[in-house]
A and B are shown apart, each in its own frame.
Chain A
Amino acid sequence: MTKSIFWSLLAFLMLSSCEDKESQLASISLDFTGVYEDQPLVMLDEQYAYEDGMDLKFQLFQFYLSDIQLVKSRSANSTQDLSDIELVSFGEIYNLTDAQQGISIKVDNIPPGTYEGIQFGIGVSPDLNATQPGDYDPPHPLDGHYWSWATGYVFTKIEGIADKDSDGTFEEKLTFHIGKDENYRTKFIPQTIEISDNSEIHLKVDLHQMLVKANGDFLDFRKTSQDHTNDPAIADFLMDNLVESIFMINE
């Protein structure tokens, strides 16, 4: 009898302990806000001044992030996985309210504590880029945006229209679709992040900075209005710029 009470108590304590540990894990959110310089990024409803007297409106801006991890210790190569793959799409953001709210991705079961920063791949990691939509049950970030002929995903899409002569008609159609393994990029943001339950990690993406490099070089839509990863220089330009366009804005 005494033995049975002892074992019951032990089991109870062990279960309680597990439960406590589980409940200590945090649910957090990765929040993305799109901007065009200092303006909120809104599809179609806003027009944005571009280089060389052109104005732009956007229909779609999206990109994949792979292997998103919190970095516990960079020197010890200690990380906490947040997500293998996410599609960050601003394609359904049509007003300022939604733009300010941004896109939120929920992640559960994250150990609380202090992290040195966040890192991720921009595009679809080579491992996942070797898979195909049929490998996933829809809805899934990788159930579309796939080039079967090139066996790979479209890492980023910019689609929009340009008014090249300031007459109010956006006659030039813009489509830039970049993929292929060689255009995959990685980024580490070294910024202390305190994680507790309901923590929010705010990331800002500046589409202007993706199109116009810090040195003033820009994608000239008078010369090129479309690229499907045909021109390696354009793919490099856009992907290198995209790396620089993503910021963490946690205080």
Chain B
Amino acid sequence: MNKWKWSIELCVFVLLMGCNPVEQDLSRIEYAPELLVLEVPPDWPSMPIPSDNPLTQEGVALGRMLFYDPILSLDSTQSCASCHLQSLAFTDAQAQSKGVLGLKGQRSAPSLANVGYYYQGLFWDGRVRDLETQSLHPVRDKKELASNWSLVLDRIQEHPQYPIAFRKAFNIKQREAIDSLMMAKALAQFQRTLLSFNAKFDQMNRGELEFTEAERRGWAMFFDAKEELPHAECSHCHTDPLFTNLEYQNNGIQELSAAGNYRDPGKALASGNPFDSGKFKVPTLRNIALTAPYMHRGQLSNLDEVLEHYISGGHYGENVSANVRKLALSERDKNDLITFLYTLTDSSFIENPNFGNPFKNAE
């Protein structure tokens, strides 16, 4: 009897905790954010961080919760992490991801490695200028989380934990002060911490280990660094250390229609400039071995296909980058290039516990 009584009391306690009324006056909770300084290699550029959204431990922690919480989707089934899996360098192995309504997205989910550096626009077509703006889009996109801010804010404001976390991160006094912009700021803060700089390539640069012969040959061809080896022309766009120059290029992956149009105009949709048609953001090659399928629509299944595409010079188009040109690479050259690309895999990035699901331990 006592045992049952104890169990019932525990259940009531847990239920009450679950229904804990949201704190109305949040100002009683201490607001003392701790600034977070990103640790990046000394030879890396500074990350541009907006002055009105400095990184704090509290903001990053909140952003991480939001990133992994399906509460942002219409039916609470998907979160940002559904299409951006840490184990795949924050991609999802899909050519086009499906949102909560079962609709396929137009393009492939890009890697978020070092995304905080992307100061020349985000998304494949560069349609938004910064992470704060970007973070607002997937929530309302019918092909992604398909929700609306009214619904999301209701859930967040009534949540037992989020108002407190927003108080600690953004100094709100009442839960009603939580808005979409604040959520976007938190998501942006978390994403700015997603740094990947500890691949074998980096360790080689730091003198901690040496490349194999195949990796060294691949490196030299990638960077067009040796006259005696073929030039693979990769590093015109995939410049280190980010392995993207952050620009938008047409790499000839799409074929022009008879009318001279591209199925997906890419950057031209955002810029309105017809000469941007078919251009897409140059993706980072960091962790590239983990982020198949490749290209903006996942057109290419593996790295062999990617190399074959570039060897062919791609489809004709006047704005196809002049750096995308027919290549003469032997089987050995191709293998060595791919071997080099594997040195860009950063296991410490995909295993970093600070980037993982914060709710996992709570399950």
Contact = CB atoms under 8 A, between A and B. Distances in A.
Interface string A176-219: 01000000000000000000000000000000000000000000
A44 B45 contact: no
Given A134-B43, A138-B46, A149-B223, A175 B322 contact: yes
| A interface SS class | loop
Interface stretch (B23-31, B52-60, B66-74, B239-247): B239-247
B359 interface: no
A170 B273 contact: no
Given A134-B44, A146-B239, A159-B323, A169 B225 contact: no
B260 to A, nearest CB: 13
Interface string A151-188: 00000000111000000011101110100000000000
B46 A226 contact: no
B119 interface: yes
A75 interface: no
Nearest to A171: B316
A37 interface: no
Given A143-B45, A169-B316, A43 B322 contact: no
Contacts of B39: none
Contact of A134 (B241, B273, B275, B316): B241
B234 to A, nearest CB: 12
Interface residues of B, number: 33
B331 interface: no
Q: Which of B235, B245, B318 has the most CB of A within 10 A?
A: B318
A59 B319 contact: yes
Nearest to B226: A149
Interface in B212-264: 220, 223-225, 227, 231, 235-236, 239-241, 245-246
Contacts of B239: 144, 146, 148
A228 B322 CA distance: 13
Contacts of A111: none
Nearest to B313: A173
A20 interface: no
Contacts of A150: 225
B50 interface: no
A173 B239 CA distance: 20
Contact of B322 (A137, A147, A174): A174
A45 B43 CA distance: 39
Nearest to A45: B275
Contacts of B321: 59, 159
B45 A59 contact: no
**Count class of interface residues, chain A:** 20 to 34
Contacts of A148: 223, 239-241
B325 A226 contact: yes
A139 B48 CA distance: 8
A40 interface: no
Contact of B323 (A137, A146, A169, A175): A175
A146 B240 CA distance: 9
A174 B324 CA distance: 10
A175 B322 CA distance: 6
Nearest to A144: B245
Contacts of B45: 133-134, 136-138, 143
Given A139-B119, A144-B239, A228-B224, A132 B322 contact: no
A49 B193 CA distance: 51
Given A137-B45, A138-B45, A159-B323, A57 B318 contact: yes
B323 A228 contact: no
A36 interface: no
Nearest to A177: B236
Contacts of A57: 318
B322 A173 contact: yes
A230 interface: yes
B363 to A, nearest CB: 40
A138 B116 CA distance: 12
Given A94-B275, A146-B239, A148-B223, A137 B48 contact: yes
Given A43-B275, A138-B48, A230 B227 contact: yes
Contacts of A133: 45
27 contacts: A43-B275, A44-B319, A59-B319, A59-B322, A94-B273, A134-B43, A134-B45, A134-B241, A137-B45, A138-B48, A138-B117, A138-B119, A139-B48, A144-B246, A148-B223, A148-B239, A148-B240, A149-B235, A159-B322, A161-B322, A169-B316, A170-B318, A173-B323, A173-B324, A174-B322, A175-B323, A228-B231
Interface of A: 43-45, 57, 59-60, 94, 132-134, 136-139, 143-144, 146-150, 159-161, 169-171, 173-175, 177, 226, 228, 230
Closest 4 CB pairs of A and B: A173-B322, A149-B225, A134-B43, A159-B322
